[in-house]
Amino acid sequence: MKQRDHIPEYPEEPLHIDVFKALKKTWSSLIPSETMQVLFPTNGILKQDDAIDGCTLLTRAVSLSAENGEQNIILEQVDLIIRWISIALCSRNQTSGLEPLLHFLHEFISFLHNESYQRLDSESAMLLPYIIERAGSAKGRFRDKISDLLSFITEVKLYPLNKYGPLNCVPVIESTINAKTRGIAIRELRFCVESCGLNGIGKKGLQVQAKSFSEENLLENKGFHLDLIQAIILKMNGDINKYFKICGSTALSRKSKDLMEERMAKVQKTILENDNSNFSLIRRGQSIGSNSLSPLTMFRLKTRKKVLRRRRPQKLQMAHLSFHSEQSKQILLQNRHLLYLQLDYLKYHTNGIRQPEPQQIFEKGFEVYGTSISKREILL
């Protein structure tokens, strides 16, 4: 990585003349003067039209280096190219200039992907937050093009998602004043969480996102936040209290907590209904992929396997019930009829041996084939 004097960090945009001059001075020792004149117009890059010739030149350079086996020429200057792109991207929007800039970005990222280039954190910070910012401010088809570019960046995994989320998406959510940009960053962050778990947002990201959710006024973004929160809590095994604890007492308003609890109650209810449906399929002997089953269904399925594996029913052991969280337990208590499916199934495979009522399972313990169980282990 070259010297990075005068390089601003998001949300500050790299438009100051000192940033332009510093990059020009650093690059002048590496490329011909004719190339410098194309990349660095006399009056600077004030609008995206000023970068059209530079984009054309760089696109051609990337293509020729790949064709001639001289990829190192580009790879040795990746950080300088990224700095130039960020200046052009943050200049005044013009449709005639944005088109070739996005085309070059796609070609450049494809080149780096083909070369298995691992982008540095500093390089990503110089570019990715500004791409997200421009996706929110762009109009019509250009917004779609930039969104497609972001999707391409994440799909080829040019930059790890466990860094893309915390280091690029979270700062945009925290600092942008553009509501549409914030919505895009929230959706990108949700993709990171769903793809690589809680590492895709990080502890600070959780707190920033919770605060942003409480302060958000745009209804559409509220919905995006709830989708993200749902993904986060499911990665926490459904434990909403754990989410509250990490976010802290001041990040979330009472209204925000109520919205979250309402959303998760609906999610848990849907999970239980799906469990009911999946368990019915199991009873009818149909095949279901294990990835589609929730922990509650897997508990039932494991119990079924125990029953079928034991030739002597009196030796069957069933020591505990497991739940996502205390909230899952309460929801199951409110839907006790689901337990009858489990008990009926056991009864079906044990020659009619009497089973306990559901409330006895939770309140008194129960006896299964001569084994007394007075305590249940609840996994939160």
The pLDDT of residue 304 is above 80: no
357 or 260, which is more confident: 260
> Is 220 in the same domain as 333?
no
How high is the pLDDT of residue 277?
55
- Stretch 216-221: mean pLDDT: 94
Number of structural domains the chain divides into: 2
Does residue 203 sit in the same domain as residue 116? yes
pLDDT digits (tens, 9 = 90+) for 194-208: 999 999 999 999 999
11 domain residue, yes or no: no
Residue 101 shares a structural domain with residue 217: yes
pLDDT in tens, 150-187: 988 888 778 899 999 999 999 999 999 999 999 999 99
| 226 and 334 housed in the same domain | no
| pLDDT on residue 309 | 39
Q: Do 311 and 257 sit in the same domain of this protein? A: no
pLDDT for the residue 6? 58
Do both 91 and 161 map to the same domain? Answer: yes
Task: Say if 271 falls within a structural domain.
Answer: no
pLDDT at 17: 87
Instruction: Give the CATH number of the domain where residue 48 resides.
Output: 1.25.10.10
Q: How confident is the model at residue 136 (pLDDT cuts 50, 70, 90)?
A: very high
Mean of per-residue pLDDT scores for the chain:
77
pLDDT of residue 272: 67
The reported pLDDT for the residue numbered 211 is 94
Is residue 113 located within the same domain as residue 213? yes
- 153 is a domain residue: yes
84 has a pLDDT exceeding 60:
yes
> For 5-35, how does the pLDDT look when each residue is reduced to its tens digit (9 = 90+)?
557 889 998 888 889 999 999 999 999 999 9
Residues 89 and 190 in one domain: yes
Q: What is the pLDDT of residues 316-362, one digit of tens each?
A: 333 333 334 455 445 544 444 344 334 333 333 334 444 444 444 44
Give the domain-ending residue among 215, 248, 266. 266
Answer yes or no: is 279 within a domain: no
In tens, the pLDDT along 266-303 reads 887 777 666 555 444 444 444 334 444 444 444 444 44
pLDDT higher than 60, residue 306: no
Q: Check residue 379 and give its pLDDT.
A: 27
| Co-location of 94 and 139 in the same domain | yes
Instruction: Give percent above pLDDT 90 in the chain.
Output: 54
Q: Looking at the structure, do residues 62 and 113 belong to the same domain, yes or no?
A: yes
Do the domain assignments include residue 112? yes
State percent of the chain over pLDDT 70. 69
The pTM for the full model equals: 0.72
Instruction: Tell me whether residue 286 is in a domain.
Output: no
Q: Is 313 exposed, middle or buried (0-12, 13-18, 19+ CB in 10 A)?
A: middle
Structure-model confidence comparison of residues 115 and 249, the more confident one: 115
pLDDT at 129 over 50: yes
pLDDT at 251 over 50: yes
Answer whether residue 363 shows pLDDT above 50.
no
If asked whether residues 232 and 328 sit together in one domain, one would say: no
Residue 321 belongs to what domain range? 293-373
pLDDT in tens, 33-76: 999 999 999 999 999 999 999 999 999 999 999 999 999 999 99
In a domain, 141, yes or no: yes
